[in-house]
Every structure is written in structure tokens, then in C-alpha cells.
Chain A
Amino acid sequence: MAIITSLVEEFGRGSSITDVLRAQQQYHEQRRWSVNQLIDNRCLTTFGDRDRAALWHSARAELTTQPAGIRLAVDGVTLAQELAKTNPLGAKVAHAAAAWSARFWLEEEAHHEVAYGQLLELAGLDPIPEDEVVEHRGFFPADNYARVCVLQACVEIEACVTYGEMAKTSGDPLVRDVFFQVMRDEVQHRQYFTSFAKALVDAGVYPVKDILSMAYVWVRPDSGETFGSTRKDQSHREGFVNWWEQVRVEPDDGLALRDDQIRTPALHERKVRSVLAMVREATDLEITTVEQLKRAYVASLTSDDLNRIRSAIHRGDARQALAS
């Protein structure tokens, strides 16, 4: 059992929405785990400041998934209704994405929120104050659905890399187990979001530029979203929280995430590589560098023809080779 990576092909083979939702259910059941079984009767033994900082951030970051899930569930059904007559294939894709967000993404992310929240308290930190919980539940802003899917794929990648690092490097067995278990879920979520973005483009609901733009905005040098709170200029936001913009990094802050937890060159490279792989899966464009992603994005602003976009990437590569 695996995630259906090409929904348009799947529907083309005659599968119905019900078939796809059953496949989602089966995959979900196959991978379920219990927060209580994982944590109960265990305690933290060899944890330190690094673990506390990671738990402080992860517990808060996971709170913001619920508003995003609600947005994707509601907007997915709205989109499906809008497309029902003009693009029935696109409508099926939107139904599949809305159902997965409402049923499985929200449920699985609730596990992460509760697991990190419990661990946070086991580590001796205060529970997240109620006003902060409420602040993190602010409505996720509306956007075009393909871009939101790509954004969420990028956020999942960010989580995969940082949680994966904690799963490998924490000195405490329970911290390692929880980060590892959550990371395994986030890998699957990244795959689902990529498949929805791809299917919305394949079905002609959105142009490929919407995948390229969001991915580029995530990884663009210096000012990309992946640089989060370390960016020189930050946009003022009200009503919702982008957790990556609120990462504590001041050296004298005991709860700050250290570079080796989130921002070393090696971790950054891993995140970028994963975002570029996601773009390749979603677009069938052979993009292996951020520079190529930028060229593809700019080319996609004047043409939706994949061959013209490929030519623009290759022309840039040739120019770069000549210049070096």
C-alpha cells in the first residue's frame, strides 16, 4: 500500500473518488500509532537544553496545522463545487485533497501536537499558555489551492529535516523516538501534498507557475521562507502564525534553536534538495538547482508550455557554462 502519486492517471484508469478515499483510509490505518502507547510509563532521562528548545518550538509549530487543515478541507470542497461543471476531473482531485486534509492530516497532526505538548511538560517546561494556543489557531489565510499544497509540502520538508536531526542527535531515547515517529508521518504528508499539487496542474485547474512560484519563494537565496526568523526584513502578520518566522535564535536565549538543529549549511542543503525533488515530482521538469527553479518560474510567467520552460532552463545552463 502506498500513496497514489498521480491522481489524474488513477482517475483516468477508472477509479472513483470513493476508491481513492478508501486507499487513503487503508494507508492511514496501516501507519497509525498511539501517542499514549509511545509515551506512557516512560520518562525523559538524558535530556538537555537542546531538547527543551526543540520541544518548545515543535509543540508550538504543530498547533498551527489545525487552521491550515481546516482551510484545505473547506476550500477543497468549495473548489470542487466550482469545478463540478467545467472541470470534473479537477473537481475529483479537489475532493480527494479536501477529504484527506479533513480526515487524516488533521488527525495525524493532532498526534504530533499532543505528543510534543506532553513531552514539553515532561521536560519541565510550562504548558503552552492558553492565549498562545488561541493565537496559533488563527485562521489560515485563503490562497489558490495548488500554492497552499506546495506551501504545506515545503513546511513538511522543513519539519522532516529538523525533526529528523533531533531523532538522530538527541541523547534521550524518548525524545528520539517521538521525533522519529513524527518525522515518519511528515514524510508521508509531504508526499500527499506533492501529489495534490501535481494533480491540480495535470488536471488543468492551475498553471505550473503556481507550483514553481511557491517553491521558489520558499528557497530563494537569503529571503526565502526557509530562512524564517533570520531574515532581515519580516512582513507584519495579524491573525495567524507562520511558526518558521517565530523561531528563537538569539544566542543568549536558553530556548533558542541552535544552528545545528535547524540552520547549518548541511541542513539547509538537505531542505533545498528535498524542495527541488518535490518540484520535479509535481512538474516533470528536471530542476536540480535553485537557479534553474528561478529560470523555470520566470519562464512560466509568460508561457505554460513545459517545453518552452525546459528550453529556458537549458539556455540559462548554457550561458552559465560559457561564463564559468
Chain B
Amino acid sequence: MSTPLRAAIARRLGLSEEVAFRPGTSLAQLLAASPSAINSIDLLDAFAGAVADQSIDVDFDLPAFTLDHSTEEVVEALEKMNVTQAETH
């Protein structure tokens, strides 16, 4: 399902949403697929930047992950965090 957050992540990584969020994709695979990302810091830039794109608030907790985590796990954590933040503000 496309959401503004997912669209922003895919855009920041230079990928289509279809490729970025293919079920079962690990962050290592996401990194390999991206034409612009070099390493996990670029992934953090993309995830954190996508949340920042949705919000004027920069006070959110950035989830920690390794390249073995799945893209879905990280995005779900970010979406949960985004919802919590929207409810708080």
C-alpha cells in the first residue's frame, strides 16, 4: 500500500515503490538495489529524511537497524512512530 512515507523513502533512494517495498526485501538488498545509496548511513538518511519530509518536528526517535532487518520492519516502526507523533501533537 502506497503512503506518503513510503513514497518519500523510495524517492530518496532513487527507486520505485514497487522495487523498494517488494515483500521480504532486506535492507542489504534495498541498499544493493538503490542507484544512489552507498551504505547504511544513506539508508538512515532516506528513512529519517522521509519522516522529516512529513513533519515540521525533528524530535523523533530514529530506529536502530542492521542490514539484516527487513525493509518492512523498519517502515512499520517509522509508521508507528509517525502515528504516535501525530496523536501527540
Contacts and interface: CB of A to CB of B under 8 A. Distances in A.
Interface of A: 141-144, 147, 209, 213-214, 217, 220, 222-223, 233-236, 294-295, 297-299, 301-302, 312, 315-316, 319
B87 interface: no
A295 B59 contact: yes
Contact of B67 (A223, A236, A302, A312): A236
Please indicate which of the listed interface residues A142, A235, A315 has the most CB atoms of chain B within 10 Å of its own CB.
Answer: A235
Contacts of A295: 58-59
Contacts of A144: 38
B59 A213 contact: no
Contacts of B67: 235-236
Interface residues of B toward A: which range? 20 to 34
Contacts, number: 55
Given A233-B64, A316-B58, A299 B52 contact: yes
A246 B66 CA distance: 16
Nearest to A303: B52
Interface string B40-69: 110011001101110000111010111110
Contact of A141 (B39, B49, B52, B59): B39
Secondary structure at chain B's binding surface: helix, strand, loop or mixed? loop
A298 B38 CA distance: 19
Contact of A236 (B39, B44, B59, B68): B68
Contact of B62 (A141, A214, A294, A316): A294
B44 A213 contact: yes
Interface of B: 38-41, 44-45, 48-49, 51-53, 58-60, 62, 64-68
A302 B52 contact: yes
B45 A209 contact: yes
Given A223-B64, A312-B58, A301 B38 contact: no
Please indicate which of the listed interface residues A144, A222, A298, A316 has the most CB atoms of chain B within 10 Å of its own CB.
Answer: A298
A143 B39 contact: yes
Contacts of A214: 41
Nearest to A320: B59
A213 B41 contact: yes
B87 to A, nearest CB: 17
A214 B42 CA distance: 10
Given A236-B67, A301-B49, A302-B49, A220 B38 contact: no
B59 to A, nearest CB: 5
Contacts of B64: 220, 222-223, 233
A143 B38 CA distance: 6
Contacts of A319: 59
